Structure 1
Amino acid sequence: MELRVLRYFWTVAVEKNISKAAKILHITQPTLSRQIKGLEDELGTTLFNRDAQQLTLTEDGLFLKERAEEILVLSENTERSFQEKRDRLLNGHFSIGCVEADNSDTLAMMLEELVSDYPQVSFNIVSATSEEIVAKLDKGLLDLALLLEPVEMKEYETIKLPREERWGLLVSPDSFLAQKTRIEPGDLKGIPLLSSSRKEIQLMLSKWMGEPWENMNIIGTYNLIFNVFSLVENRVGSALTIEGATTNRDSTRTTFVPLYPELTTTCLLVWKKNRMHTPVITELIRRFRHAFEA
């Protein structure tokens, strides 16, 4: 399977039209049609449902589109990395994954300094859940990641950032819990709660509560906190979260109350062990080490 043909397929999948895709790819429509048919023959499956209006992906087509995106991004990243190594200049492009956290400001500060010193450097920040970020890191689609503990880190190099992330309960201002200065385990008895879907976080909160997870009144789980702000505002439930994920929200619509005994976690800058880095990634890691491991 050639990368060129994968790119042809991906373009057709996005445009849903052979003619439009052919114009974008600067090849003739019959040539593109033959390439797609040849790919289907090679894989032994039908990738598109064909009708007069547009092309739609079959189940196998959807699967290949997802894999094609990963392969094409990885191919582009690899070519870019070799180009940067040839140049041996700090002028490359990199991608970094980032969870919702107060330490996002730390990352922004480090990137600001790097780009100020090396204006030819560019970057892409990917916001997602820890699981999604780690998956992309493993596949080489991300160079670095900013993750929130607890995280299994056996296969990664890490730098611990100094600013701790404080856990608490995000509640509606109309809730009686909003009048408290702190939330203790007993305060959550019977309270409808929204919690992270990460098992590591659930285990940590269960230990803090002193209760099995199944005994807590968890009415819903989430992967990114912005999805549940309206649920908290409308008093559907109160969300267990870190303070840093709520700092840019309108404080008149929700209230953050810290947990007591205090529960904190730290953020980690993470990258895959034994992976060769471009000069720009090496420089960024060096700056983090200098700032936070001195």
Structure 2
Amino acid sequence: MELRLLHYFYTIAETENITQAAAQLHITQPTLSRQLKSLERELGTTLFTRDHNQLALTEAGLFLKSRAAEILSLTQQTTQEFNDRRQQLFSGHIAIGCVEADNSDTLAMMLEDFVSDYPQVTFEIFSGTSDIIKERLEKGLLDVAILLEPVNTEKYHTLTLPRTERWGLLVSNESFAARKADIEPADLPGMPLMISGRPEVQQLLADWAGVTLDQLNVIGNFNLSFNVIPLVEHQVGAAVSIEGAVSGRQPSDVTFVPLKPAIQTSCVLVWRRERMLTPVVGEFIRYFREAFA
């Protein structure tokens, strides 16, 4: 499959219209239609259903679109990396993954210094959970990332960041837990909990509470805090979170209550062991080493 055809397909999928896609690609509509039919013949499946001038992706088309996004992004990044090597550190690009945490401020501080010293360098920040970010690291879509422990980092070089993250419950101000200074293991039985889908985090809480996972009243899982805050507000449940994920962003009717005994974990800067670093990425990591190693 040619990258050119993949790019044509992805543009059609984004616009849902052959005419608009052809205009964006600066080719004629008949040419683009022929290229699409050629791709469908090559794959042996229909990628779009057609209704007048509107196109809708088939199940196969949806699958190819998700793969095309990754492949085209990786291709663009690889091309950029070769350009980086030619231009050294006078210009370049770095893709960074970062969890929701207090250490997001650490990343902002380091980037501020880095782009000030190298103003031609551009960057991209991808936010998500540690598992999602690790998946993108594996695919080569990210250069470095800040992950939240507990997390398996066997495949990565790591640098532990100095600011620890405090765990607790995000609760409604109307709940009994909001009137407590701390949450203790005895408070958990029967309490409806929303927690990360990551097994490491679930086990962390179970070990702290001295119970098995199935003894926790987990009513739902989430990845980022933004979407779970309204559920906390309406007392659907309490959300297990780190303070840094919601600091400065939680509404006035929601409170963060820390766990006691305290659970504090670190964030780590990671990058792939076997991957050759571009000069830009290597220099960015050096900034972290000098600041925190």
Provide, for residues 117-167 of structure 1, a one-character-per-residue CA deviation record: whole Å limited to 9, x for no partner: 111111111111222211111111111111101111111111110111000
1:141-152 to structure 2, matched below 5 A, reads 141-152=141-152
Provide, for residues 189-239 of structure 1, a one-character-per-residue CA deviation record: whole Å limited to 9, x for no partner: 211111111111001110001011111111111111111111111111111
Provide, for residues 67-102 of structure 1, a one-character-per-residue CA deviation record: whole Å limited to 9, x for no partner: 111111111111111011011234111111111000
2:117 equivalent in structure 1? 117
2:83 equivalent in structure 1? 83
What amino acid sits opposite 2:27 in the alignment? I
1:191-210 to structure 2, matched below 5 A, reads 191-210=191-210
CA distance in 2, matches of 1:252, 1:34: 57
CA distance in 1, matches of 2:184, 2:117: 47
The number of equivalent residue pairs is: 293
1:27 correspondence with 2:27: yes
Kindly, what percent of the aligned residue pairs are identical?
A: 59
Q: TM-score, normalised by structure 2?
A: 0.97
Q: CA deviation at 1:51?
A: 2.0
2:165 equivalent in structure 1? 165
CA distance in 1, matches of 2:250, 2:69: 37
After the TM superposition, which segments of 4 or more aligned residues of structure 1 sit over 4 Å from their partners?
A: none
Contact 2:88/2:280 (<8 A) preserved: no
What amino acid sits opposite 1:83 in the alignment? N
Partner SS, residue 89 of structure 1: helix
Contact 1:90/1:279 (<8 A) preserved: no
2:54 equivalent in structure 1? 54
The range that moved more, 124-133 or 23-32, is: 124-133
CA distance in 1, matches of 2:117, 2:179: 47
Contact 1:189/1:216 (<8 A) preserved: yes
Q: TM-score, normalised by structure 1?
A: 0.97
CA distance in 1, matches of 2:129, 2:42: 36
1:290 correspondence with 2:285: no
Segments of structure 2 that go 5 or more residues without pairing to the other structure are: none
After superposition, the CA RMSD in angstroms is 1.1
CA distance in 1, matches of 2:262, 2:31: 65
What amino acid sits opposite 2:60 in the alignment? D
CA distance in 2, matches of 1:242, 1:192: 18
1:94 equivalent in structure 2? 94
Provide, for residues 19-45 of structure 1, a one-character-per-residue CA deviation record: whole Å limited to 9, x for no partner: 111111000111111111111111111
CA distance in 2, matches of 1:249, 1:23: 42
CA distance in 2, matches of 1:82, 1:131: 28
2:39 equivalent in structure 1? 39
1:264 equivalent in structure 2? 264
